[in-house]
Chains A and B, each alone.
Chain A
């Protein structure tokens, strides 16, 4: 049989591509060998609350509360698997710290997507990087809501967040899903992104993306809707995260632009580096008042906190990539055990001058998941913690802190046996200086095949964790979360 007739046969069987993937020896080898693939393994069942085993150190007195985190934890079903890391079912994890002990409980968010796919025994719903398959139903955005990106405390509820639909409300103790939150009946099913920004006062700002528009949400510290307004933007750029100073909302419009509504979602975007990056600064007090800055082209998912200086200069940090290849192919390949080998995102500082000129300074630090001290949200003098990515291997292996006022950067390397997740800051009671407190976060220990919780003194990261504890479960790598004081 010559090559041509083989290809024809493959096409006739309707399985040409699938067969090619299956027989790709590199792919099969990678699946069989790479330890990091544990970070994208499926979880079948909820994790019952259980006490963590202490590995070393003691939980600091005064660190009481819960680290809630969210991330996809079910990717594969007999009939079909999702096509992208971002399309797995959200599992909310509660790492609770009380009385010197820590417990872990984790529960899948009970979404329509998960129900449809459980009964179909196949991942049929469309997503960020997954095409729809027969059996899918999509009558509104929440039918494909994976509720898998972050989790925040709003009033008495936990909200599991995704970027294209409504928050899924959960009970904070049992983690049971109550249903999608409707902030106001006429705003039902409006998108509520996974990256809200909370002011030091507790007031919450968020956006929801829709082509070249966003809805800007404003919630009171107690979680009541104060305002929702539609803001038109100069282009239909992909916006995963935004940032804010105490007085401004900042939308960074990268040149990854939606040119058509398509399935999967990411296939409708095109990389247009010639268009550069635009930064739109909007007044919180008057959403019609805006300034637009121009920067060179870059791709990003995550921004750090922003602040304004006395002369009107605005600065914020960002984890930037040269292009969107991770969003398109890299994060899809991870699921089949392939490391794309592309460059890691780098920490950068953006400066928006009072003269209307913008500047991008890129560091050489491979960085993702930037977080800050929430007491300094939007204010000068904040500090940043981010994960440190291992070049050439997907996912992170360490954490580092950065003080943009010139303080010494600190880092800790967990080593290649750990997949390191986002760390968040928890303040020391009675303290007030930026990063006076702890950094709390999780890793997946690939050798022990178990998830771990680690606590650092936020100002002494290089010293390593002051306390580490191990869970009984090995949970896949999650995206984002927040610490809620007990």
Chain B
């Protein structure tokens, strides 16, 4: 076996792998529609598994985007293709926290990816999960 040739093969496999990784990279633009109060921030969290979405794991990303513009969106680059879900609330008063009334009911608007609706609690992972494919993706969420 010639050592040089072996080295070259290893290199070319590495190069191939790198190309494949680049092709498999995805970005997600989260756009907000229906916004009534153009103030404060949209506070979003992106999850890539049901466990994480249900609070039993780490989120993939968290983001805050100012809600005062005509278009309100956040681009999340560098994601792996797969299934994701988003929870978001509109932080109207800008305190960084989801406002709750004294009986624990949200006082600030909230929403989920797919515009999924909750039933006495957050929307389920099954209802909120969507596919992110290689390349650019857009997820529009209605809120307020």
Q: A132 at the A/B interface (Cβ < 8 Å)? A: yes
Given the complex of chains A and B, what is the CA–CA distance between A137 and B117 in angstroms? Answer: 6
Q: B120 at the A/B interface (Cβ < 8 Å)? A: yes
Q: A359 at the A/B interface (Cβ < 8 Å)? A: no
Taking a contact as CB atoms closer than 8 A, the residue among B92, B107, B119 that contacts A138 in the complex is B119
Q: B103 at the A/B interface (Cβ < 8 Å)? A: yes
> Do residues A230 and B102 form an inter-chain contact, with CB atoms below 8 A?
yes
Taking a contact as CB atoms closer than 8 A, the residue among A132, A186, A191 that contacts B107 in the complex is A186
> Do residues B117 and A213 form an inter-chain contact, with CB atoms below 8 A?
no
Q: B101 at the A/B interface (Cβ < 8 Å)? A: yes
> Do residues B105 and A189 form an inter-chain contact, with CB atoms below 8 A?
yes
> Do residues A139 and B107 form an inter-chain contact, with CB atoms below 8 A?
no
Task: Given A185-B107, A189-B107, answer yes or no on A138-B99 (Cβ-Cβ < 8 Å).
Answer: no
Chain B residues in 8 Å Cβ range of A136? 119
Q: B84 at the A/B interface (Cβ < 8 Å)? A: no
Q: Which 4 A-B pairs have the closest CB atoms?
A: A137-B117, A188-B107, A210-B103, A189-B105
Q: How many residues of A contact B (CB 8 A)?
A: 18
Given the complex of chains A and B, what is the CA–CA distance between A210 and B102 in angstroms? Answer: 10
Residue of A nearest to B104 (CB): A210
Given the complex of chains A and B, what is the CA–CA distance between A191 and B104 in angstroms? Answer: 12
Chain B residues in 8 Å Cβ range of A141? 105
Chain A residues in 8 Å Cβ range of B119? 132, 136-138
Chain B residues in 8 Å Cβ range of A185? 92-93, 99, 107
Q: B106 at the A/B interface (Cβ < 8 Å)? A: yes
Task: Given A139-B110, A140-B106, answer yes or no on A188-B101 (Cβ-Cβ < 8 Å).
Answer: yes
Task: Given A185-B107, A186-B107, answer yes or no on A139-B118 (Cβ-Cβ < 8 Å).
Answer: yes
B89 CB to closest chain A CB (Å) equals 12
Q: How many residues of B contact A (CB 8 A)?
A: 14
Chain A residues in 8 Å Cβ range of B103? 190-191, 210, 213, 215
A–B Cβ pairs within 8 angstroms, 14 of them: A137-B119, A138-B118, A139-B110, A139-B117, A140-B106, A187-B101, A187-B107, A188-B101, A189-B107, A190-B105, A210-B103, A213-B103, A215-B103, A230-B102
Give 1 or 0 for each of B73-104: 1 = CB within 8 Å of chain A CB: 00000000000000000001100000101110
Given the complex of chains A and B, what is the CA–CA distance between A141 and B101 in angstroms? Answer: 12
Residue of B nearest to A165 (CB): B105
Q: Which residues of B contact A (CB under 8 A)?
A: 92-93, 99, 101-103, 105-107, 110, 117-120
Interface residues of A in 175-220 (CB under 8 A from B): 185-191, 210, 213, 215
> Do residues A190 and B102 form an inter-chain contact, with CB atoms below 8 A?
yes
Residue of B nearest to A229 (CB): B102
Chain B residues in 8 Å Cβ range of A210? 103
> Do residues A137 and B107 form an inter-chain contact, with CB atoms below 8 A?
no
> Do residues A189 and B120 form an inter-chain contact, with CB atoms below 8 A?
no
Given the complex of chains A and B, what is the CA–CA distance between A185 and B101 in angstroms? Answer: 9
Interface residues of A in 123-170 (CB under 8 A from B): 132, 136-141
Given the complex of chains A and B, what is the CA–CA distance between A329 and B99 in angstroms? Answer: 38
Given the complex of chains A and B, what is the CA–CA distance between A265 and B110 in angstroms? Answer: 24
Give 1 or 0 for each of A276-315: 1 = CB within 8 Å of chain B CB: 0000000000000000000000000000000000000000
Residue of A nearest to B120 (CB): A138
Chain B residues in 8 Å Cβ range of A230? 102
B126 CB to closest chain A CB (Å) equals 14
Residue of A nearest to B107 (CB): A188
Given the complex of chains A and B, what is the CA–CA distance between A140 and B110 in angstroms? Answer: 11
Given the complex of chains A and B, what is the CA–CA distance between A454 and B103 in angstroms? Answer: 42
> Do residues A186 and B101 form an inter-chain contact, with CB atoms below 8 A?
yes
Q: From A141, A189, A230, name the one whose CB has the most chain B CB atoms within 10 angstroms.
A: A189
Chain B residues in 8 Å Cβ range of A132? 119
Given the complex of chains A and B, what is the CA–CA distance between A230 and B93 in angstroms? Answer: 23
Additional A-B contacts beyond A138-B119, A186-B99, A190-B103 (11; CB < 8 A): A136-B119, A137-B117, A137-B118, A139-B110, A187-B102, A187-B107, A189-B107, A190-B102, A213-B103, A215-B102, A230-B102
Chain B residues in 8 Å Cβ range of A190? 101-103, 105
Given the complex of chains A and B, what is the CA–CA distance between A139 and B102 in angstroms? Answer: 17
Chain A residues in 8 Å Cβ range of B118? 137-139
A191 CB to closest chain B CB (Å) equals 8
Given the complex of chains A and B, what is the CA–CA distance between A23 and B137 in angstroms? Answer: 55
